[in-house]
Amino acid sequence: MAKVTNRKDYRPYPFEVEQCQLRFEIQARHVIVSSRLWFRQNPKYSGRYRPADCILDGTGLEILSIRLNDREQEEGQGYRYDGRKLELTGTAEMQNFYFCAKVRIDPYNNKSLEGMYRSGDILCTQNEATGFRNITFYPDRPDVMSRFTTEIIADQKQYPRLLSNGNLLEKKDLGDGRHSVRWEDPFPKPAYLYALVAGDLDLLSDHFITCSGREVTLHIYTDKGKTSQARFAMESLKKAMLWDEKLFGREYDLDLYMIVAVDSFNFGAMENKGLNIFNSSLVFATDETATDATYENIASVIAHEYFHNWTGNRITCRDWFQLTLKEGLTVYRDERFSEDHFGSEVCRIQQVSNLRNMQYPEDAGPNRHPIRPDSFIDINNFYTQTVYEKGAAVIRMMAFHLGSEGFRKGMDRYFERFDGQAVTCDDFVDAIQEGGGKDLSLLRRWYEQAGTPQLYADSKWDGTKFSLKLRQENPNAAAPSPHTEKTGTSASRESSRPIPPPLAFPIPLALYDHNGTKLHEETIMFSERETERHYTLNSQSKPVPSLLLDHISPVEVHYPYSDEELLLLISADQDSFNRYEAMQRYQQKLLLAMNPEQTTEPADNFVERLRSWLTAQCAAGGDAAMPPRYLAQLLQVPGVQILAAAQQPPQFQALHQVREAYCTKLAGHLEEDMLSCYHALAQTSYERSDLAIGKRSLRNTLLHYLSRLQHNRNNGGKYDELASQQYQTSDNMTDSYAALQALTHYSPGPHSQAAEGALAHFSRRWQGDFSVLCRWFALQAGTPKPQTLQKIQELENHPLFRQENPNMLRSLYSVLSRNLPIFHDKSGAAYQFLAQRILQIDRFNSMTAAGLAKAFVAYKQLDEEGQTAMAKALQLILQQDGISDRLYEITSKTLEQ
């Protein structure tokens, strides 16, 4: 039965581990792990609680020997082991003791990709959150920090590289074809940061001189022949190191920083001390294989894992409920890094758009939780958009509230006070407010409440005074709690929803007059005591408010804007985010008022506004005052996910149709301008400057608009030809991929010949490149056509599809679940299909299975027909015997929220 862990039940661990010495003997069929641990009573525990025997985590370990204080122990006497916990009898009374274990593990057949496992011919580890217990016996919790040393013995030919955390002490040839190494990590750390890698790897080497003049060796290890593809990752790493010194005064602390790229990985990357392990898709990039978006993604994840060295490793979490302590903060840091390197305008829009597309649905769904959850069955289900991205948004509010200098002082205080410790979110806020010199108690409730606050704004102008009324509501403030009974079919428990206490947040705003001149700007702060707020200002004319500048707080603003007001903000708003926001609002209004039978035209002045931007861009060859990349973002029409959030119940197919009809109309009105602009944006050779990236982005946006015309007009295949030509002549992945999408996504029936030809060419050309291949699968699973589900089933049997690889699995199944008109097909076929696949995957990789099960997040919002269909799929999962606890947690909450 699944066991629930509650945040309020936290207790320190009874013991401390002074030292942990590990020895790995890598043999042909298994690995022998010997450990030596020095325990002593933990003063944080022994003063307060009753003495308890030492209990260690250890999942499915084959015990070869257990020794206590140098004496061999027998099962049932010196210890008891139930396959999950090892209890050491009689240790409660010991001031200290010495524990040795020898276990046998089989990483070669470990398909869960937790603990030690094989990726190709590389042996590697993934221990966060709870993987270390699959390797050896240990108190596998983040507040037990210890010094680790590692000895690895392995065949020299098969495993010439033997890596672990810290510094390399010694390397020995054992003479019998084997060799050994010893590593020592001088910094105490929890077990989740432990890592080991063995393999025949190529090495890209570089170095970085830190601010105090120390030389740090930088190593990126890859599969044979791939190091040249890791150059961009290396450059990104150096930029991140420099940035963290400049912006946060953080210097790297070891002499060596290693990154290893592996193809089989459940997540993006892992910040193991001194030895990051990365999903290879976030390391490898060349102009031919990586899109501009991929490049930026790589830079931000490299930075993220590097920043963890201080926010996560030096200072870690006391318990897993505090996960946002390191993840929210580190995401905030990587966001700022990206803003500084790729432009804050475009980054901010992307961040908020991600938040809306991914985090808001989670925050309104069955697995919603505060950024610091209160209970879980499996913490691995809580590596969520909420803990990460909303967590970062909460820190963004703090930083805004304190100002950048104040926030920096707060961070300095945090590092100073808690370095080397495992702490809580409360500790963090305490330090930030002390150092920052401003009370933050008003923001603390954000750690307790789930749900996206809705801010309803309305205004009046009486000829002299402008008054604004703001009211907040949070209908999803309470999180459903996990179920422990594996029944899964009981009637749904309607949770009563008491009115939650209000949240404090800043609302920076500006007022514009009808000429678009800014009249006023200030920040209103909601306090944690008020759900309503009134604001008045003298004004001789009726102003247009631009609310929540830069989307500084993670709330949604509703204001009854007229079309004229939105058009004014579209041309005049000086806040680049809100200008985009006005575009979004204007189009969202239009789209939500349409239905597939009745589509309306966008207003002339709106179309003319767009035309003038395009004309300017065209005249300037893409170098107009408004950066092309920003214009490309302005031209993004709100996606189906965002439109659906404003509709009850959401009609995904209808929204998709309406949206396509709208884009087609827009393209029809602007065809000539779009086409000439498309040509004007052509570049003779590939470069990666901001301007070049911006031009590609705008040009591909236009290509996609134009491609929609292909199928609505008798234009002789003109735009298919344009896309084909782009595909054939492109020298970079950004343009080829965009062309491939344009060719495949918009025709109503089966693919055109040109599309089929390009798809086939692409897979032939990239059959040897794992990440690019994943994108080829993803492109087809993401095609919004009725044939897609069938296509996915064909692709599952494609010779290049790897059935056990998480990237591959996600490239079909996660992508399907985000392909909303297809996933929510009325027949329920896609639900059923996904449920079956989830069950299959759960048998060997429950982490990936549980992640995929989050696809059913919209269950309660669906119409009756949809709910019935989805319930069937959910029940199919729940009725299966022996599903993993983590899959159970997600699925049962979804069905019975």
Dihedral sign (CA 757, 758, 763, 768): positive
* The two three-digit tokens of residue 30, written as one number: 């298994």
Q: Catalytic: which of 16, 114, 296, 305?
A: 305
Tokens representing 292 are 């501009």
Q: Could you tell me if 560 and 536 are in contact, meaning their C-beta atoms sit under 8 angstroms apart?
A: no
Helices (H) and strands (E) in the chain, counts: 27, 31
Task: For the beta carbon of residue 319, count every other beta carbon within 10 angstroms.
Answer: 19
Closest CA relative to residue 681, chosen from 635, 618, 767, 727: 618
Smallest distance from the beta carbon of 410 to Zn ion, in angstroms?
Answer: 20
Q: Which is nearer to Zn ion, 164 or 330 (CB)?
A: 330
Helix extents (H) in 646-689: 652-680
User: Which residue type sits at 645?
Assistant: A
**Between β-strands 178-189 and 146-155, what pairing exists: parallel, antiparallel or unpaired?**
antiparallel
User: What separation in angstroms does the CA of 378 have from each of 3, 55, 346, 886, 889?
Assistant: 9, 19, 36, 6, 8
Say whether 175 sits in a helix, a strand or coil. Answer: coil
| Cα–Cα distance, 837 to 327 (Å, whole number) | 30
Distances from the Cα of 146 to the Cαs of 8, 188, 198, 235, in angstroms? 25, 4, 23, 32
CA distance 437 to 603: 50
CA separation, residue 223 to residues 263, 285, 488 (Å): 9, 14, 44
Site string for Zn ion, 312-351 (x = CB under 5 A): ---------------x--x---------------------
Which is nearest to 857 in space by CA: 555, 641, 646, 638? 641
Instruction: Determine the Cα–Cα distance for residues 668 and 715; give it in Å rounded to an integer.
Output: 12
| Closest to 455 (Cα-Cα) out of 440, 471, 431 | 471
Cβ-based nearer residue to Zn ion, 391 or 627: 391
- Active site (annotated) includes residue 305: yes
DSSP letters along 608-636, please?
HHHHHHHHHHHHTTT-SSS-HHHHHHHTP
Find out whether the peptide bond into 649 is cis, omega within 30 degrees of 0.
yes
Phi, psi (degrees; rounded to nearest 5) at 195: -150, 150
- 246 and 238 Cβ atoms separated by less than 8 Å: no
Residues that bind Zn ion (CB under 5 A): 327, 330
